[in-house]
Amino acid sequence: MKKILFFFLAISCCGSLAAENGYECWLRYTTADKSVIKSYRQRIQSITLFGTSSTIDAARFELSTALLGLLGKTIPGSNSIRDGSVIAGTTSSSILLSKNITVSDLSQAGTEGFVILSKIIDGKNCTLIIANSDIGVLYGVFHFLRLLQTAQPIQSLHIISAPRIKLRLLNHWDNLNRTVERGYAGSSIWNWHTLPGYIDQRYTDYARLNASIGINGTVLTNVNANATALTRPYLEKVAALANTFRPYGIKVYLTARFSAPIEIGGLKTADPLDPAVRDWWKQKADEIYSLIPDFGGFLVKANSEGQPGPQNYNRTHADGANMMAAAVAPHKGIIMWRAFVYSSENPDDRHKQAYIDFTPLDGKFADNVLVQVKNGPIDFMPREPFHPLFGAMPKTPLMMEFQLTQEYTGQGTHLVYLAPMFKECLESDTYAKGEGSTVAKVVDGSLDDHSLNGMAGVSNIGADINWCGHPFAQANWYALGRLSWDHQLSADTIADEWVRQSFSNHIPLVRDLKFIMLSSREIMVQYMNPLGLHHIMGTGHHYGPAPWVNDLSRPEWNPVYYHRADSFGIGFDRTKSGSNAIAQYKPEATELWRDSNDCDERYLLWFHHVCWNHRMRSGQTLWTALCMYYNMGVDRVSVMKIVWEKQKPFVDAVRFKQVSMLLDIQYEEACWWRDACLLYFQTFSKQPIKEPFVQPTHTLDYYKQLRFPYAPGN
């Protein structure tokens, strides 16, 4: 039995809440809420697990450890059914379970889902957790424990849950030297040097945390790939990780450097149509699968930002993807080919290029290929419209790529709950097949009938003790898992779950923390990128504002490219009088964007170049509205801080102080965004920053000369 261990606090220190270092994330298993613990103790008196796999062992250990923490006493395992039995297993492992579930319920659970039933068996109150697979049992156990952690009632349960999306992945932008690209939580957790011999406890706890939210795959390496990861010594290290994750239903994937046949294969070309190259990938795949029989496949960034790819040989993305697809297909592997492309040679609006490059390839990809698409057409900005590719490639499975790490949304110092952003995208209507053709339906395969489908989050995990840096950043990891399982969950529900598990069920605390979380994304948009502004951040590190930058080697890397501020106004005309990027959407989808006088103001400057005196719906001018939003965002950070400070009696002292300090930093940085941006845009608007708006304390030159040579993640 593979022992699973984790660390938890119990002793109250000097009358205050025991210090928490955040390591356990949402799997804290502290004593259950007063309102429910008596009922729980009555209804949970023994554990019966059927099956002998390492997955069932994981489930057993999780149950027993969690219940000890939640109920304050050891709940024994038992072979016999009694009042308060919790019984878990597959129907093939237990006749009892197969007798107590309907065919209908079980079939709805599918391969990974589960059913949780309250049943009276022989006069005894039992809770049954039933699935078609051992991993479904584990997921069901985690769901049951979540009910307990969130003080939910557990009588009369009849839960059927199956994931809506098949591939639910993290993407780690981790390098082999343990730096993390766009990482703000310390170094990479993968200690390659000591693998395969040393299996860090963190690897196991990583697997537990991911399994608890249904994540079933992880890409271990940076999309800016390193061919060394595909060499034998590294494959053996990867295999050790795969072995650790397997009981938790998590497959490993790697990024594939397109030029690997040259760099490590000694070939002279990486042309995807070259037989020697095709053979090299085939043999490489065979080698990988000999070590890792359930290896997931490759994630590829090609012909993007300098990465090699098929276009270097005048081949298409499909040619490249299909070559790799052929190599892994015999082993049931898949290829995720990223659509994040914008060419340094193409002067057309960056917004348009992925669509132009990829839509002609619709239907040309092999069956085991997904095209992975960022939520929006630029690059994870605080607000983007949904990516026009969604709905435009019906014959191809399109996989969602969200970014959990806060590269553009506050990095390591801002409290920003991103689920509202994810929901905004998922609920967007592409109108590809009429009304209701949401991005979610594209991604879950239901719109175009793709059984292969997926969602990925660029990880915010690092070696910091609390995994994610900012204590609240864990919520974004949590949210990605929950949404990949069920994209219909609301951001509110997910926040509610997370707060209750990560802090407590104390109702005022839950209410206040949710308030902070659910408003945080819009607040961040306001003090950084109001009214559809985007990509005006600092160069390289992307830390802080730098809307003035205009001298980078590629024009579409310059902030000025995106805001286009001039004496007339500001914003990027993407309508037909401009780049016409808007035409890549179905007309119905753009109703609220097309007319600058009638535009959803959240996207105004995304789609329109608008004069400084443009009259907003409120009657204000654009310039005044800009000043207002920047100031409002800053003020609302103060409100976040005030609400947080009220939580002092209800939160452990260490995390309370951590978040307080970070909110102070967030406030300072929000002021910095406000002041630097308004001072700069003012040089074009030539209008004052009027009362009641705050006068900047520094000059524009002050902000322009700030340097951060060691900002993290770069």
Enumerate the active-site residues: 305, 379, 407
**Contact with its own copies (CB under 8 A): which of 406, 658, 682, 685?**
658
Binding mask 17-36 for its own copies (x = CB under 8 A): --xxx-x-------------
Which span sits near its own copies by CB under 8 A: 93-101, 292-300, 473-481, 703-711?
703-711
Which span sits near its own copies by CB under 8 A: 31-39, 60-68, 215-223, 399-407?
60-68
Q: Residue 688 Cβ, how far from its own copies at the closest point, in Å?
A: 31
The answer to whether 438 and 375 have CB atoms below 8 angstroms apart is no
595 binds its own copies (CB under 8 A): no
Which span sits near its own copies by CB under 8 A: 65-73, 299-307, 389-397, 481-489?
65-73
Binding mask 452-491 for its own copies (x = CB under 8 A): -----------xxx--------------------------
Position 384, amino acid:
E
Which span sits near its own copies by CB under 8 A: 128-136, 337-345, 382-390, 663-671?
663-671
Please tell me the distance from the alpha carbon of residue 180 to that of residue 178, in angstroms, as a whole number: 6
Q: Where are the alpha helices (DSSP H) in 51-158?
A: 54-71, 95-99, 103-109, 134-149
Q: What is the largest CA-CA distance in the chain?
A: 81
Q: Which residue has the tokens 């429910």?
A: 36
Angle at 232 between CA 230 and CA 234, to 5 degrees: 65
186 binds its own copies (CB under 8 A): yes
Q: Residue 657 Cβ, how far from its own copies at the closest point, in Å?
A: 8
366 binds its own copies (CB under 8 A): no
694 binds its own copies (CB under 8 A): no
668 binds its own copies (CB under 8 A): yes
**Contact with its own copies (CB under 8 A): which of 10, 120, 276, 507?**
10
Q: Which long-range contacts (CB under 8 A, 24 or more apart) does 154-159 make?
A: 154/39, 154/40, 154/43, 154/44, 154/118, 154/127, 155/39, 155/43, 155/118, 155/125, 156/118, 157/116, 157/117, 157/118, 157/127, 158/116, 158/117, 158/118, 159/114, 159/115, 159/116, 159/117
Please tell me the distance from the alpha carbon of residue 218 to that of residue 299, in angstroms, as a whole number: 10
37 binds its own copies (CB under 8 A): no
Q: Residue 232 Cβ, how far from its own copies at the closest point, in Å?
A: 12
HEC per residue, 483-525: HHHCCCCCHHHHHHHHHHHHCCCCHHHHHHHHHHHHHHHHHHH
Q: Residue 302 Cβ, how far from its own copies at the closest point, in Å?
A: 23
**Contact with its own copies (CB under 8 A): which of 155, 649, 664, 702?**
664
Q: Residue 10 Cβ, how far from its own copies at the closest point, in Å?
A: 4
Q: Are strands 114-121 and 158-161 parallel, antiparallel or unpaired?
A: antiparallel
Closest CA to 516 of 560, 562, 475: 475
177 binds its own copies (CB under 8 A): yes
3 binds its own copies (CB under 8 A): yes
567 binds its own copies (CB under 8 A): no
Site for its own copies in 87-126 (CB under 8 A): none
The answer to whether 283 and 266 have CB atoms below 8 angstroms apart is no
Q: Residue 532 Cβ, how far from its own copies at the closest point, in Å?
A: 29
Which span sits near its own copies by CB under 8 A: 175-183, 246-254, 337-345, 588-596?
175-183
Q: Residue 173 Cβ, how far from its own copies at the closest point, in Å?
A: 16
Which span sits near its own copies by CB under 8 A: 331-339, 615-623, 641-649, 662-670?
662-670
**Contact with its own copies (CB under 8 A): which of 84, 214, 410, 412?**
412
HEC per residue, 602-637: HHHHHHCCEECCCECCCCCEHHHHHHHHHHHHHHHH
Tokens standing for 413? 């110092």
11 binds its own copies (CB under 8 A): yes
Which span sits near its own copies by CB under 8 A: 3-11, 262-270, 429-437, 518-526?
3-11
Please tell me the distance from the alpha carbon of residue 417 to that of residue 695, in angstroms, as a whole number: 29
**Contact with its own copies (CB under 8 A): which of 304, 413, 504, 575?**
413
Angle at 32 between CA 26 and CA 36, to 5 degrees: 130
Closest CA to 372 of 253, 238, 226: 253
**Contact with its own copies (CB under 8 A): which of 37, 159, 489, 653?**
653
Position 186, amino acid:
G
* CB nearer its own copies, residue 197 or residue 692: 197
Q: Residue 177 Cβ, how far from its own copies at the closest point, in Å?
A: 5
Q: Residue 68 Cβ, how far from its own copies at the closest point, in Å?
A: 7
The answer to whether 694 and 637 have CB atoms below 8 angstroms apart is no
Q: Residue 546 Cβ, how far from its own copies at the closest point, in Å?
A: 17
Please tell me the distance from the alpha carbon of residue 329 to that of residue 339, in angstroms, as a whole number: 21
Q: What is each CA distance from 178 to 51, 104, 460, 691, in whole angstroms?
A: 38, 48, 14, 49
Three-class secondary structure of residue 46 per DSSP: strand
Which residues are at the interface with its own copies (CB under 8 A)? 3, 5-11, 13-14, 19-21, 23, 64-65, 68-69, 74, 176-178, 186-187, 192-194, 197-199, 201-202, 228, 412-413, 463-465, 653-654, 657-658, 661-662, 664-665, 668, 708-712
